[in-house]
Amino acid sequence: ELYARAVLDLSSSERCFSASKLFHAYGLGNALAFPLWVGASTVLSPDRPTPDLVYRTIEEAKPTVFFGVPTLYAAMLAQKEVPHDLSSLRLCVSAGEPLPGELFTRWKSRFGTEILDGIGSTEVLHIYVSPRRGHAKPDSTGVPVDGYEVKIIDEGGSEVPRGQTGDLIVRGPSTATMYFNRREQTRSKMRGEWFFSGDKFRQTEDGEYHYVGRSDDMFKAGAEWVSPTDVEAVLVSHQAVLEAAVTPLREGGLMRPQAHVVLTEGREGTSQLAEELRQHVRSRCAGYMVPKEIHFVRELPKTATGKIQRYLLREGS
C-alpha cells in the first residue's frame, strides 16, 4: 500500500517485470507481493537477465512497469541498435546500487520513460526513499515513502544539518526486529525502532535525499573522503565506459583511488585511454578523486542481483 500503490500507482491492469529474482527482497516485492496484492499480473523468467533477454521479454510480454538495476540499465543502453518495442512501459524502477545521473538522462531521452531510483534494504523489505512519478531527477533518491521516517545522523547520533553527509537510519512498519542467530549484528544495526542502513546520505535544501556511498566503501585520500559512486558516475558518463568500480589503492602508507573499468564493445584498454579517463574525472571532480591507476577488466564481480562487490576488488588488489 505504501510503496506499490502510493508511489508506483500499481493497479489491477498492470503487468510487472523484474530483473531481480524472487529470492531477493527487491525481486520478491516487484514480482510477487506488489502485483498480487493489487490483482495485477507478473512476468517471470528463470534465465539470467541479459540485455537481449530483457529487451525481448519487454516486447513479447508487454509489461507496464520494469524493475532493474543500474548495471543492467547501463548494459541495455550500450546496445546501439535495439530492434524491440518498449512502448508498453509507463515506468521503470532501479535499486540495489545508486543510478548514475548520466544513465537516468540517457534512458529517459532514448526511451521516454523515467527511472525511479530508490533506496531500500532487505531488513526493511523494500524501498523506503523514492522519487515520485513525474518528479524524478538525475542523482536524486527522492523523499521518504509515506509511513517511513528517515534521519541522517553523525557519529554521536545527532541529526546533521541539510547539506552535510551522515549515516541514514530508518524506521517503519516493515522494519525487521532482529537477525536470525546474529546477536552482535542485531545489536549493531537494530537499535530500538531504528535500523542503521550503513549508507551515507545528504539532504539538500529542497528536501530530497542524495546517496553518497556505503560506509564500508568510502575511504580517505589526501585527508578527504572519497565516495566511490561519485567517481564511478563520472567514469560511466564517458562514451568508452560501460561499468566502473572504484576502490582504495594503498601507496606508501596513503590511500589513493583506483578504478576498475569495463569498456563498451569495440573499445580497447590502452594507456592513452586510461589517461583520457583520468582527465575526464579531473574535469569534473576534485584532484584527490582522480584514480591513480585504471585497470581495464572484462567484468566486475557482482551479486546475483547485479550489485557490484567492491570488497572483492579491494581484496584482489
Tens digits of residue pLDDT in 63-119: 999 999 999 999 999 988 888 999 999 999 999 889 999 999 999 999 999 999 999
Residue 316 is predicted with a pLDDT of 62
Q: What would the mean pLDDT of 286-314 be, rounded to a whole number? A: 91
Strand pairing class (15-18; 41-43): parallel
- Residue 122, Ramachandran bin (φ over 0: left; ψ between -120 and 50: alpha; else beta): alpha
Question: 213 CB contacts (<8 Å, ≥6 apart)?
Answer: 199, 200, 227, 228, 229, 230
Residue 251 is predicted with a pLDDT of 80
* Confidence category of residue 59, pLDDT binned at 50, 70, 90: very high
Residue 208 is predicted with a pLDDT of 97
Percentages (nearest 5) of helix, strand, coil residues in the chain: 25, 30, 45
Which of 121-135, 209-223, 234-248 bottoms out in mean pLDDT, i.e. has the lowest? 209-223
The half-sphere exposure of 88 on its side-chain side, counting CA atoms within 13 A, is 19
Inter-residue contact 99 to 73 (CB < 8 Å) = yes
**pLDDT at residue 315 tops 80:** no
Q: What would the mean pLDDT of 173-184 be, rounded to a whole number? A: 95
Strand pairing class (119-120; 127-130): antiparallel
Question: 43 CB contacts (<8 Å, ≥6 apart)?
Answer: 15, 16, 17, 18, 31, 57, 61, 63
pLDDT digits (tens, 9 = 90+) for 279-294: 999 999 999 999 999 9
* Confidence category of residue 222, pLDDT binned at 50, 70, 90: confident
pLDDT digits (tens, 9 = 90+) for 187-215: 999 999 999 999 999 999 999 999 998 88
**pLDDT at residue 305 tops 80:** no
Inter-residue contact 96 to 126 (CB < 8 Å) = no
**pLDDT at residue 174 tops 70:** yes
Strand pairing class (115-117; 91-94): parallel
Distance CA 27, CA 76 (A): 19
List domains and CATH numbers for the chain: 15-144 (3.40.50.980), 149-212 (2.30.38.10), 219-316 (3.30.300.30)
